[in-house]
Amino acid sequence: MSATPPAGTASLKLARSNRQSPARKRADRFGDLALFLVCAAAALLALLVIVLIAKEVIEGAQPAISKFGLSFVTNTEWAPPLEKFGGEGVILGTLITSAMALAIGAPVAISIGIFLALLAPASVRNVISPLVEMLAAIPSVILGFWGLLILGPVLVSTIEPFLHSTFGFIPLFGEPQTTGNSVFNAGLILTIMVIPIIASVSRDLFMAVPRELQDGAAALGSTRWEVIRGVVLPSTVSGMTAACLLGLGRALGEAIAVAQVIGGATESHLSLFRPGGTMASLIALQFNSAVSQLHTSSLYYLAALLLVIGIASNLLASWIGQRFGGAGGVMR
């Protein structure tokens, strides 16, 4: 039988193995420094790209900013041959379509996330999850064609007349038009686009909630709905805000699909059933065919406003996440 080594032998060998030569220490320090520099450069590159984009957009918009000032935001006339440009109509159209997409899409997407993460059996979840994510892979031009050829006629013949007859006293539900090109159609297309983004992120958030918290609430007699309402949703409120922000970014910046179904109008109105326009769709439609330098500069002005709205929505979402994302969604 072999002799048992002394008690301190194992710790002595471990200490010797932890000793590093000067060359090894220098290599480790170099690796730490290299990792820091690479990661810092990546972060600075992202910041640099944003700064360069903002610089290019603002420089391009400078002639329109000098000529129109802030009155560009409140002027409703857009007449390139007369060199009269006002962005109120497309700004309002952008806000209405994006708000509509979030108002309809966010509850639906969060409900899908709850079902897939907490309610559906694994076999069902494994089938439905890829199908939901596949919606995000559909090219926007295909959705635009579908909205133009299929959804538009259905809206004109059925949904818009019903909404007008029921809620016609509200300015949003004005007189239906004879074509399917409308703000309402564009809002529904954007809804389809934001649902898979918000649903996928929400599902991952709900699945990340510790099982111990849910089991503890259930052990105290909470129903499934009470566990979701009192534990899961408050724990993920800041993440859901970020998910809605991603969806909002998609809705604000979508151009091609919206241009196909919204009608291309630039006047300012509140009716969902009339043709309209958004900033992104107007830029996509008119930038290459601008008739003058002021026309191009006015489109840059719209791009600058769109950039400001996007940055403002990011800052608002960050504030909401910090304000309510602490102790279970309770205000700090």
* Percent with pLDDT over 70 in the chain: 89
pLDDT for the residue numbered 332: 41
Greater model confidence, 238 or 154: 154
Cα separation of 223 and 57, whole Å? 53
- Pseudo-torsion of CA 294, 295, 300, 305, nearest 10°? 100
Confidence of residue 17 (pLDDT cuts 50, 70, 90): low
Contact call for residues 185 and 262 (beta carbons, < 8 A): yes
Cα separation of 309 and 90, whole Å? 13
pLDDT for the residue numbered 9: 58
Report helix, strand or coil for 216.
Answer: helix
In the chain, what are the domain boundaries? 68-324
Contact call for residues 211 and 195 (beta carbons, < 8 A): no
Mean pLDDT of the chain: 85
Confidence of residue 4 (pLDDT cuts 50, 70, 90): low
Encode pLDDT of 24-71 as tens digits.
777 777 778 888 899 999 999 989 998 999 999 999 999 999 998 888
pLDDT for the residue numbered 59: 92
Name the superfamily (CATH) of residues 68-324.
MetI-like (1.10.3720.10)
Residue 66 region by backbone torsions, left for phi larger than 0, else alpha for psi between -120 and 50, else beta: alpha
Encode pLDDT of 245-278 as tens digits.
888 888 998 889 999 999 888 888 888 999 999 9
pLDDT for the residue numbered 331: 39
Indicate if the pLDDT at residue 219 is higher than 60. yes
